[in-house]
Amino acid sequence: MDATARDIEVTTDASRFDLEAIHGFLTTSYWAPGIPREVVERAIVHSLCFGALDGDRQVGFARVVSDRATFAYVCDVFVLESHRGRGVGKSLMAAIMAHPDLQGLRRLMLFTRDAHGLYAQYGFGVARYPDRLMEVFDPLPYGAGR
């Protein structure tokens, strides 16, 4: 764990996650504005999740969607503003990259608007074949503004 985040514990034990804190952050994030609580709950149940805890307080979170054999998508990564700059994001990413179920994957992907420097430290870069990457994108999946 990063020296600046010594007091932070990263766990995959979902029983220790603070769903209120996770939902509260995600609902105001740039990537999931207005996300309903039940969608967050379902996403957590069906993903490999990492919680960053300062004592019992949820201060960060990351979710990985994966078949645990060939592919994984890292998403919903956040650190509370009060804990930014202390290595919490690095601790989350180190835990993800070291997790036994995420070893030997052919492809690990993510999207970010502003944390390229963090992810580059863990080997992420521009898509190898961006001309092959396609997506179906709904900017308002939760009905906001419709």
Domains of the chain (ranges, CATH numbers): 3-120 (3.40.630.30)
Q: Is 17 helix (H, G, I), strand (E, B) or coil?
A: coil
Q: What pLDDT is recorded for position 140?
A: 84
pLDDT confidence band for 97 (50 / 70 / 90): very high
The chain-wide mean pLDDT, for the chain, equals 93
Q: Would you give the DSSP letter of residue 50? A: E
Cα–Cα distance, 85 to 77 (Å, whole number): 15
Task: Tell me the per-residue pLDDT of 32-61, one tens digit each, with 9 for 90 and over.
Answer: 999 999 999 999 999 999 999 999 999 999
pLDDT score of 144: 57
Segment 74-83 mean pLDDT: 97
Task: Determine the Cα–Cα distance for residues 116 and 56; give it in Å rounded to an integer.
Answer: 29
Judge whether residue 4 has pLDDT over 70.
no
Q: Is the pLDDT of residue 3 over 50?
A: no
Q: What is the pLDDT of residue 1?
A: 39
